[in-house]
Amino acid sequence: MRIVECEVAVIGGGITGAGTLRDCALRGLKAVLIEKNDLASGTTGRNHGLLHSGARYAVQDPESAVECIAENRILKKIAHHCIENTGGLFVTLPDDDPGFHALLLQGCRAAGIECDEISADHARRLEPHLNPDIVAALKVPDGTIDPFRLTSANVLDAVEHGAKVMTHTEVTGLIVDRERIAGFNCLDKRTGEPFELRARVVVNASGVWGQKVCAWAGIDLPMFPSKGSMVIIDYRVNNVVINRCRPPADGDIIVPGDTVSLIGTTSKKIPYDEIEDLVVDDDEIEVLLADGEKLIPNVSRTRVLRAYCGVRPLVAVSGKTFGRDISRGIVLVDHLERDGAEGLVTIAGGKLMTYRLMAEMTADLVCRKLGRKAACSTRSTPLPGSGKKAPLKKTARRFSGIPQSVVGSTHYRHGERAHRFLSRDPKSYGLICECEMVTAGEVTYAVRHLMAKDLIDLRRRTRLGMGPCQGELCAYRAAGLFTELGPAKGDEATRMLIDFLEERFKGLKPVLWGDALRELEFTYWIYQGLFGLTELDRPSESDEAD
């Protein structure tokens, strides 16, 4: 059996695992990351994409608020190509407790969060679609952040500094040498090859799945899954993050993101054995739309593009065991100290906003365990794409002749890395996805350099298929490109296409009414009636005979 050796092995390709891999690689450690599916395919890719100012936690969780505003400022410097600095508002409605406004203002100031009282009229000028009945508003430095882009950039930088990444590779068990965790057994899900990954330190960064990893070592680390559901509106109804000024509750935020807006978030306690089979419930959609309507009137009458949910990886360290009552604080466990198991570290809790801090804390611990002295540099080292910031006008002049909408969207997603694939060759800048302005050149770059191994991976790297048509008019083009680029033959590309459409359907199924249902019928007509896709998926008579 093949054996891969390294100093530190990271389980989990979410943002925490990706950030930890990058931090270790930048310190010169030989590091490997294992992910059973694709990067950001779990909880990281199922959040509302909010660049927290920390204001949401300023009243009830001041420690998290301080962490958030510190990381907010760092990420705006090192990951600006993943961020839209929209600003945020906390608005008080007539039926909200007016006293919470003062508590939030006081909490923000105590945490060092810029927070300004503005008039209701000023708030409506900043966001014209706001409910005209708001009675008070606070302005905070919220923004939006693309979790897929952020994760991919961390992994890209880690690989460029010598790290290895194995996606679509499952951990099947830990390797225990006496009382030391010496690595784990793996299975390449694409080739079926089993192998061993041996490491001096194993970092369990698998989020809510971390409980299972610990159980393999005979360690009890209970987690309390909290499901959060969100709905996406098919166009951008607001340009500023809008928060309701009240204690955290369902449906209290609307986040603008790229070409759409998102209403979030519910919080439901679920049994641990249901974390692999999450569904959005009808009552959650009703609550989100009803409360979203109170922030932006008529939002519930717009087309709902899709609904999705994720599970928060909460670890109860204070005795509280439910959703919003459990701190979003960081939990870093050295299992030698806690459980007598050498070689295993778990990093859990926290949130997207604090991933870099979590990675720094974890890498510090790993270095101590390895006896290595290496300082963290992720506070100041820009991610790929967020290096020297070239103004869009300068980029547009450099690529004159290419439609400016294409140049703008490519520059927005990839920063200075756009120069690596943006080309005046008409074939390169030909659009594959009109909704998100994804070109053939960008698809090629994602396949060759960003580890996009299928269409679902490609969606996470480029936003292909995430616009209003949900892949209706771009998925088959992208599948064709996979055959041209070499990763897939015709039948493999067909399977990719079917998997992609089925994955998109999961988010469409809960919202199939009105325009969403009509759009899906049209998509079905294209792929079944015109392309006969389900016929292509059936085994031939010769296959059946075999």
Per-residue model confidence as pLDDT tens digits over 255-304: 998 889 999 899 998 998 888 889 999 999 999 999 999 999 999 888 99
Please give the average per-residue pLDDT across 446-455, as a whole number.
Answer: 94
pLDDT of amino acid 313: 77
Query: What separation, in Å, do the N-terminal and C-terminal C-alpha atoms of the chain show?
Result: 31
Phi, psi of 513 (to 5 degrees): -150, 160
User: Would you place residue 371 in the very low, low, confident or very high pLDDT band (cuts 50, 70, 90)?
Assistant: very high
pLDDT of amino acid 286: 95
Chain mean pLDDT for the chain: 91
Strand order in the sheet with 50-51: 50-51, 143-145, 83-84
pLDDT of amino acid 389: 66
pLDDT digits (tens, 9 = 90+) for 321-353: 444 444 457 899 999 999 999 999 999 988 899
DSSP percent split of the chain into helix, strand, coil, nearest 5:
40, 20, 35
Q: Which segments of the chain belong to CATH 3.50.50.60?
A: 2-43+148-223+328-370
> Could you tell me what percent of the chain has a pLDDT over 90?
74
Please give the average per-residue pLDDT across 46-56, as a whole number.
Answer: 94
Look up the CATH number of domain 2-43+148-223+328-370.
Answer: 3.50.50.60
User: Would you place residue 390 in the very low, low, confident or very high pLDDT band (cuts 50, 70, 90)?
Assistant: low
Of the given ranges (152-156, 231-235, 385-389, 428-432), which has the lowest mean pLDDT? 385-389
pLDDT of amino acid 177: 87
CA distance 9 to 307: 34
pLDDT of amino acid 541: 43
The helices-and-strands tally (H runs, E runs) of the chain is 18, 22
Predicted TM-score (pTM) of this structure: 0.93
Q: Which segments of the chain belong to CATH 3.30.9.10?
A: 83-145+226-311
CATH topology of domain 83-145+226-311: D-Amino Acid Oxidase; Chain A, domain 2 (3.30.9)
Kindly give the interhelix angle for 514-524 and 490-508, rounded to the nearest 10 degrees. Answer: 170
pLDDT digits (tens, 9 = 90+) for 528-540: 887 888 776 544 4
CA angle 180, 184, 185 (to 5 degrees): 140
